[in-house]
Amino acid sequence: MRIVIAEDSVLLREGITRLLAEYGHEVVAAEGDASRLLDVVLHHAPDLVIVDVRMPPAAWPRAAPLSIPRWWRSCWPEAAVAIRSTR
């Protein structure tokens, strides 16, 4: 499975990447800034995107991470999005 991770915490981003690799998944990109997320997703066309709902930049509209699944489904209906938060 090809996966993109969007997580601003370096520790969590690297930990999730290692865990997924141990289970045989390919993390094609791990992004720490939401402003670049859509470009990364368009470039890699992964099977799964794991998104931290509270990623920077602070100017990003609060509801924006929650709109990603709808947008993602319209582009790639066979793919999945997982939204997570540590809070």
Order of strands, sheet of 48-52, starting from the edge strand that comes earlier in the sequence: 26-31, 2-6, 48-52, 80-84
Number of compact structural domains in the chain: 1
The per-residue pLDDT for 39 is 84
Write the pLDDT tens digit of every residue in 53-73: 777 665 455 556 566 667 667
- Taking the CA of residue 70 as centre, how many other CA atoms within 13 Å lie in the half-sphere pointing to its CB? 5
CATH number at residue 10: 3.40.50.2300
Question: With 80 as the cut, is the pLDDT of residue 48 above it?
Answer: yes
* Cβ neighbours of 17 (radius 10 Å): 18
E strand spans, 1-87: 2-6, 26-31, 48-52, 80-84
pTM of the shown model? 0.78
* Domain carrying residue 27: 2-84
